[in-house]
Structure 1
């Protein structure tokens, strides 16, 4: 039996189908046409060509315009381009620029440096330089004021070589000046004070202050005054019961009686001596005893004097015995009321006139000689102790006026310097300066604090300008003075730079020692705009107007 196996079927290879005639032709053309590649190459060159063209244009413009950029006024708008040419360096039309073309105005005066006042073109010596409509007279008082101000303390100086003095800063119009924010103020006269300020402390006048102590040890029997009372010289403040007073009274009375006895004895022996009833030696002994008694009297009197009690020995010696005893008991009690009683009392009296500022005793208290019972101060005048920085102390002088205002106070007190210390405090580096202030109303209190002011110089008619008018140009202090003919029609609008010598500053104004005169007008607010233009010119920014 035979079996027959069937073979699997195998796929035959695919045959290539022919393309349509149109498509085949297009493929052949694409392969062989070079035009698209050339276009791409040309497009890639365009940026380089544009850059080269711009560089060539810039080179051409620079060559024909001296390598200067066009002014903003020539390209900003059509109206500006069609208007007058503009001087960008000075902000005015080219045809009106007095800086670029000085012939548009009268020639500026030649300014020389004044060695006396330290300014260029000194109007104190040459008032005709002032920008005023009418002539200004410089008085002797103005010259003296300037001399005193310059001699008082070293002042800021100007360099003699300066290119700013006399420079003109111009505006296209009054409206342009206002838009720039420039304000003006007249030069005026005002009262100005130059001073040294320092911290101050009020103290009692030590020459009019007294510490009251009892003249002898004892017990306080009566106190007649209290703190705040005003007492006069010799008024009784207290009464002290002192055994020392009683002892001295007994010694004085004994010495007086002994002296009186020896006087009577001498009279008798001298009467009997010529007759020989009394030997001469006895007379000598009596005289010696009399001298010793007199010495005892003198010692007792001096003892009272040491206690501050005055005793007249001649009055006691010439009185009767009873009167002498009464007078001795009354020593030290003349100012004490009789109702107090006792022979050992002594009055404690006021050594000066003033106010009781301290009381440290009470009735019945035991006090010793030298212990403080009261303190009296004449408060009608006080001391002001100022602490002045050492570097300024040399400016203070005896007799200079001083002003003082206490902390929180509104009243200003005035006095004069009476003492200047020769020492410098090692810690604070200050010098003590003392002034005496009247204090009739007792409003100035001991050990209170405040601010003192030593007035170095006070001018009632100083020449002043606003502080904002003063500028520094790098070599000089300057202000900008408005042209005297500023408001004339067809007149260029400009300011003249004037070097000045500043002095004291006060209440927003600065004193001008030399440089301007009353009647002139200076730039105040916005003067920094003029300063900026001045500095730009001094830096040599150049002029673009072609002059």
Structure 2
């Protein structure tokens, strides 16, 4: 009997000590627990929480659900997109090299034999179409201009004589033979000036240049008291006949400068070109496509060009597909034109081109980043009021970016399209807590 009373006394002492001294030894607390029922579960104790600090620890998430607030979703950078119809694309990857657009390169040459008197552009400078980039001293040009000037002077003289003879013939004052001779001479003068004009145009002068030359070096009609005054004015305007201006045919940048000041050009074994100017606002991508993929390639297809350094790709179109195969590589040359106004692509660089070869519409598609493998099944996370719920889906066709959803989703539902692995990790942590 004394032993029983002693036992109850020890138990009572253990309860008192366990209540007011939390650090009491484990054996005493264990002994008290054997004899008394466990205390009721507290809502503020160690119950499972799936709110993860959102202030709703008493909200127990159903299985397959992840409870997150809007702020937590934004903080985790989980992008949400609406499920909708779309297009699956098929692409092939082809290596390529950036080259200049052959239609945007100009080799500026002198069409005459001469000596470089001025070089007005340096390497890398920008030029505009029609701008004078160099000046030559050329005896050939001086002779052609002199010939044109002489022909023009003679034409005006013969025209005056012809008009005079025609007036006399109309009045039957002069003989018909004299009138016919004047008309023939005037016709020959017209032919001579036409030939002189054609010769200037062959040297690179435009019709506007020839007209300006005629205006500038026309014969002097002014009468002066000094007998030699007209001659002096004419000679002064004949100065500089040897100067030959070379203009750029395109707008672009000087990528090559071939000669120096004072260099002879145009002669035998002499340099013919002065500059090479290129417009790099558009470039070509020279692709080498294997014969097995040629059936999928056609002109007008879109291509995405990337340098493999993580930068945004540029887009262009195929403008040429060679009908001839390279005998050594068994591939064909394919050229794509790409806009280059930001000068991101430098000729000579190696790139990779993604060529769009087919497009197929589907009723529902999601980005591949939305898919997660859980328990051997493909799932996506569908947005709901409290966060996300796991949803198993059946996949169809796909491309490099997206995949078709055959079953498991409805159009219009919102899913986690990016960083969905965060939800997979949270779901796994919640399930592990349930197990324990």
Query: Which of 289, 293, 299 does residue 398 from structure 1 map onto?
Result: 299
Q: Structure 1: how far apart are the matches of 2:166 and 2:183?
A: 10
Q: Does 1:298 align with 2:194?
A: yes
Q: Which consecutive residues of structure 1, in runs of 5 or more, have no partner in the other structure?
A: 1-137, 150-192, 332-340, 470-478, 483-495, 520-547
Q: Structure 2: how far apart are the matches of 1:317 and 1:285?
A: 31
Q: Which runs of 4+ in 1 moved over 6 A?
A: 323-331, 458-461, 464-469
Q: Structure 2: how far apart are the matches of 1:409 and 1:327?
A: 68
- For residue 421 of structure 1, report the CA deviation from its aligned partner: 2.2
Q: Who is 2:121 aligned against?
A: 225
* Matched position secondary structure for 1:220: strand
Judging changes above 3 Å, is the alpha-carbon distance between structure 1 residues 413 and 327 closer, same or farther for their aligned structure 2 residues? farther
Give runs of aligned pairs for residues 512-523 of structure 1, distance below 5 A: 513=404, 515-518=406-409
Query: Which of 349, 352, 375 does residue 276 from structure 2 map onto?
Result: 375
Q: Does 1:208 align with 2:104?
A: yes
Query: Which of 341, 360, 365 does residue 462 from structure 1 map onto?
Result: 365
TM-score by length of structure 2 reads: 0.59
Q: Who is 2:210 aligned against?
A: 311
CA contact (8 A) 1:402 1:416 kept: yes
Q: Structure 1: how far apart are the matches of 2:182 and 2:131?
A: 45
Q: Which consecutive residues of structure 2, in runs of 5 or more, have no partner in the other structure?
A: 1-82, 223-229, 380-391, 411-436
Deviation digits for residues 349-389 of structure 1, max 9, x if unmatched? Answer: 00011111111011110111781111111111111112122
Q: Does 1:429 align with 2:330?
A: yes
In terms of mean alpha carbon deviation, does 217-226 or 303-312 score higher?
A: 303-312
Q: Structure 2: how far apart are the matches of 1:389 and 1:330?
A: 65
Q: Structure 1: how far apart are the matches of 2:372 and 2:330?
A: 34
* The structure with more radius of gyration: 1
Q: Structure 2: how far apart are the matches of 1:357 and 1:314?
A: 32
In terms of mean alpha carbon deviation, does 280-289 or 305-314 score higher?
A: 305-314
Judging changes above 3 Å, is the alpha-carbon distance between structure 1 residues 418 and 274 closer, same or farther for their aligned structure 2 residues? closer
Q: Does 1:353 align with 2:243?
A: no
Q: Structure 2: how far apart are the matches of 1:395 and 1:275?
A: 84
Judging changes above 3 Å, is the alpha-carbon distance between structure 1 residues 395 and 228 closer, same or farther for their aligned structure 2 residues? same
- For residue 272 of structure 1, report the CA deviation from its aligned partner: 2.9
Q: Structure 1: how far apart are the matches of 2:216 and 2:178?
A: 24
More strand by share: 2
CA contact (8 A) 1:301 1:313 kept: no
Give runs of aligned pairs for residues 433-452 of structure 1, distance below 5 A: 433-452=334-353
Q: Does 1:417 align with 2:417?
A: no
Deviation digits for residues 268-312 of structure 1, max 9, x if unmatched? Answer: 322333555421011111110111111111111111111121312
Q: Structure 1: how far apart are the matches of 2:296 and 2:91?
A: 10
Q: Structure 1: how far apart are the matches of 2:290 and 2:234?
A: 62
Query: Which of 150, 154, 165 does residue 258 from structure 1 map onto?
Result: 154
CA contact (8 A) 1:253 1:328 kept: no
Judging changes above 3 Å, is the alpha-carbon distance between structure 1 residues 351 and 409 closer, same or farther for their aligned structure 2 residues? farther
- For residue 444 of structure 1, report the CA deviation from its aligned partner: 1.1
CA contact (8 A) 2:280 2:343 kept: yes
The number of residue pairs the alignment matches comes to 303
- For residue 223 of structure 1, report the CA deviation from its aligned partner: 0.2
- For residue 425 of structure 1, report the CA deviation from its aligned partner: 2.1
